[in-house]
Chains A and B, each alone.
Chain A
Amino acid sequence: MYPIERVEPLNAEVTRMVVRAPEIARKIKPGQFIMLRIDEVGERIPLTMNDCDPEAGTVTIVFQAVGATTMRLAKMKEGDALLDFAGPLGNPTELEGAKRACVIGGGLGTAIAYPQAKWLYEHGAEVDVITGFRNVDLVLLEDEINACSTRQIIMTDDGSNGNKGLVTQALQQRIDEGADYDLVLAVGPVIMMKFVAATTKPYGIKTLVSMNPLMIDGTGMCGGCRVKVGDEYLHACVDGPDFDGHLVDFDDAMRRGVMYRSFESAARDAAEGRDCNGGAAVAAADGERKGA
């Protein structure tokens, strides 16, 4: 079991959770992910690391309560424990050598972009961080990012923070101003990463995107997490999760991403019913398994 040491809502939808996992904390690097399972009936879900503290032996994850598992996760409290927490999985983001980087986070992606910005900043790079949210109430990690960036630009869809627009507009403006980036990292919705890559392509700026496809085992076994990169399908779990943004087929990724959408509401309803019912439903499910 992996004890939850701290739970903190970052806004109405997003939660930060600190989990005790000393061995993983010792090894995990920006860009790598963990797979967790809440309990015996739970799914394995991948979450990219937000932060880690090797000395305290903790790994921090940030998630948005949108699916059955993340909604259940958001209800867990300090002192509860996760049944499974495996990592570090995937490859660390290739950050070495970057001198002038732009790290872009869209919504929840900001939480994953944060450790990359921090690493770059601590290693002497100039780091611009551009983040985008629907409105000012959803802005994430503003103080943390201020502490590890040369410049932070926060964009909102509705302009409620006084800065209306898309992250790509801010990126284009910085490029026009002569920012001369040697690395752009984008983490967020697939559509955002697609347009970030399209923005940097004419300038030939190295652009990495962090893909988050459907995944089951996360260790290189099931083939569920295929991402079309150039002419071939690669696996986010062993070849990624970061890929060259100029080679990723984002339309293909968006199409594959909806494959399980029709199951989502049934999963949420069942999970909610189970949680209201306490252990009874879990026991019933277990009984059914034994009978099967």
Chain B
Amino acid sequence: MATSYEVNRQKEKTPMPELDPVERARTFEEVALGYAAEDAFNEARRCIQCPKSPCVHGCPVGVPIPQFVAQVAEGDFGAAYALVKEANALPAICGRVCPQESQCEGVCTRGKNGEPVGIGRLERFVADWAFEHPEEAAKAAAALAERRAEEAAAAGETPAEAVAADEPDEIVVPDVDLSGKRVAVVGSGPASLTCAGELAKRGCDVTVFEALHKVGGVLTYGIPEFRLPKDLVAREVEALGESGVSFETNALVGKLYDIDELMDERGFDAVFVGTGAGIPSYLGIEGEGLNGVMAASELLTRVNLMKAYLFPEYDTPVYAGKHCVVVGGGNVAMDAARTAKRLGADVTVVYRRGREEMPARAEEVHHAEQEGIEFQLLTNPVRILGDDKGWTCGVECVRMELGEPDASGRRRPVAVEGSEFVVDIDMLVVAAGSKTNPLIAQTTPGLETTSRNLIVADERTCATSKPGVFAGGDAVIGAATVILAMGAGKRAAAGIAEYLTAK
């Protein structure tokens, strides 16, 4: 595809303005500051509009990347926003938290010789621009909707099919009128918000049930302020509210209502279950019950949901030591490490595999390093040591080396005999993933689940074994990413629309 603009041949991404690492390691302010219009313009022009657009295939929700990037390159930010928003309900969030390097940017043609186009940064830019220019953004979205209708009329198809023709990888939520239909959405994380938004767009009466006092799921209690400002999450939720979605907080489905009651007594025609991951997993080693040892989700919930970093202005406290080890190599481990750092601890991340195998987003690892967080890779904790008062005072670790590949394809770490050493600590955070909360499985007769309590759902429609009940996100696939959950939420909306129309 030829470009209508002169391609920027610069090999590296246009740098992202960031807070100073020393400065920011003491505050919870957002680290990455976002592109200015000129940065965005320069970065967008690095896209060569290659004909196969592998980036779109790399995107779980099928954002029309070359098209929106071209609009940014042309300086039409409104049109760019309309294109992104059509495919992605939460672009300001995805632009910040998606693992772009393993998705769109990981397959970008520019990345074969230099750095890929900063697609995530551009997505964030257009979303933030739209928030600052609401009227222009709304006008652009309306113009795009009109164009879709015209295209559809010309081709004798529905607007949804017109979108599909434009973006072959798009998950198509059928363009049907769902007025008069009622759908309950259980949980309010990214899968649920996406599903709710898509259904509400089609006139469906959607109620989201959230167990906690705040909506947003992992976006609210899990991902820290310095990576995803909570005002921004609140803004997205507010926008959904304006589009007609209702929210019931303090409503734990499975306890306050079960799914049968939602359908039979409260009259919902279908239910989407997006309850996410659940109870934290532990290491299963000696000393995990010591004081000063906590799951990452406890640290993050105290700080993010309860604002414990503002204690005592806020009533919830959070314990932070001086010397902290965080065990794990995923995004949650990075979030926990950077949070502990901001609470005043020296932090070391201990991970049993190597740098290459770390599942965390590259940018998070980079930011953690910049902030002075140490990494002990190929290292595994074997025992947590305690003092006579029951507080942790050390962790015994062993060096690992990589052996044969295991079932996941990653090389299995093997302990190096005799390499044990002790790190002095007064705080240890376990970020070892999570087990699914069994509540929905236990209280929903007819719902098929796996031995790990994951809900069994159809890959295409997200339908479960129980008619009218759909599920997606971490509750189905185990702990994964925001964008995969959103992809599932979108597929579920399509599945639900299909189900409600056929009904």
Contacts and interface: CB of A to CB of B under 8 A. Distances in A.
Nearest to B255: A88
A226 B290 CA distance: 11
A260 interface: yes
A292 B27 contact: yes
Contacts of A238: 279, 437-439
A61 to B, nearest CB: 15
Contacts of B305: 216-217
A270 B313 contact: yes
Contact of A260 (B256, B309, B319, B389): B319
Interface of B: 27-29, 211-213, 221, 225, 231, 249-252, 255-257, 278-280, 282, 288-289, 291-292, 294-295, 297-298, 301-302, 305-307, 309-317, 319, 389-390, 437-439
B213 A292 contact: no
A285 B310 contact: yes
A105 B311 CA distance: 34
Contacts, number: 140
A87 B256 contact: yes
Interface string A233-274: 101001000000000000010011011100100110111000
A97 interface: no
A41 interface: yes
A57 to B, nearest CB: 14
A23 B279 contact: no
B280 A223 contact: yes
Q: Give the 9 A-B residue pairs with the shortest CB-CB distance, closest first.
A: A270-B312, A285-B313, A223-B295, A263-B317, A86-B250, A255-B390, A223-B280, A43-B315, A84-B213
A235 B279 contact: yes
Instruction: Tell me whether chain A's interface is mostly helix, strand or loop, or mixed.
Output: mixed
A55 interface: no
Given A220-B437, A238-B439, A289 B289 contact: no
Contacts of A252: 289
B294 to A, nearest CB: 7
Nearest to B291: A259
Contact of A219 (B29, B211, B280, B291): B211
Given A260-B319, A263-B317, A88 B312 contact: no
A290 interface: yes
Given A88-B256, A228-B289, A292-B29, A42 B309 contact: no
A88 B254 CA distance: 10
A84 B250 CA distance: 7
Contact of B311 (A69, A87, A263, A290): A263
Contacts of A216: 298, 301-302, 305-306, 316
Interface residues of A, number: 49
B280 A271 contact: no
Nearest to B292: A259
Interface of A: 23-24, 27, 37, 41-44, 68-69, 83-89, 216-217, 219-224, 226, 228, 233, 235, 238, 252, 255-256, 258-260, 263, 266-267, 269-271, 281, 284-285, 288-290, 292
Contacts of B225: 292
A117 B426 CA distance: 44
Contact of A220 (B28, B249, B279, B291): B279
Given A256-B289, A292-B310, A222 B301 contact: yes
Contacts of B297: 221-223
B218 to A, nearest CB: 10
A270 B311 CA distance: 9
Nearest to B231: A290
Given A87-B256, A270-B313, A217 B231 contact: no
A267 B278 contact: no
A259 B256 contact: no
Given A41-B313, A263-B317, A292-B310, A221 B256 contact: no
Kindly name the residue among A23, A217, A281 whose own CB sees the greatest number of chain B CB atoms within 10 A.
A217
